[in-house]
Amino acid sequence: MRNAALVLGIIGGVVGMMVGFFSYGYATLVERFSEVGEVIGFFENPAFVKAASFIGPLLAIAGGAMARARALWGGVLMIVSALGMYAAFGFNFATMFPIGMVGLAGILAIGAGKPDEPKAHF
C-alpha cells in the first residue's frame, strides 16, 4: 500500500502541476488583460487559485515521497492537497485525475497502519 501511495501521489502531483500551470497563468493573464476575463470568465478568488496552483501539487509530491518512510504524514499531506485542489479548481475533466489519484494515495498511505517495518506510525 505504501508503494501504491508513493506512485499515485507523485503522478497525481505531476498532473496537478500541469493544471496548476494553466490556472496560475490564466489568473495572471486575467489580472493583466481584463478583457480576456470578460470574454471567458473570472476566478472568484484568484489569489487562492494561485496559491493552490503552487501548494497543492507540492504537497502531493512531498506526501508521495514520504509515503514509504512516514505513511501517516504523507497521507495527511496528500489528502490536504486533494482537498485544496478541489476547493481551488473544482471537480472537472482537467482535475478529476489529479484529485482522484492524490486522494486515493492519501487514503492508501493512512490505511497502511501495519507496515512491513517494525515501527508503526499510529
**CA distance readout (Å), 107 to 49, 63, 87:** 24, 12, 18
pLDDT digits (tens, 9 = 90+) for 75-104: 999 999 999 999 999 999 999 999 999 999
pLDDT at res. 73 = 92
Domain boundaries, the chain: 2-111
Those residues whose C-beta lies under 8 Å from the C-beta of residue 118, and which sit 6 or more positions away, are none
pLDDT at res. 34 = 85
pLDDT digits (tens, 9 = 90+) for 30-80: 989 888 888 888 888 989 999 999 999 999 999 999 998 888 999 999 999
pLDDT at res. 8 = 95
pLDDT at res. 19 = 95
Query: Beta-carbon neighbour count of residue 14 at 10 Å?
Result: 15
CA 75, 79, 82, 85 dihedral sign is negative
pLDDT at res. 42 = 84
pTM for the model stands at 0.87
- Amino acid (1-letter code) at residue 118: P
**DSSP string of 72-115, one letter each residue:** HHHHHHHHHHHHHHHHHH-SSTTTHHHHHHHHHHHHHHHH--S-
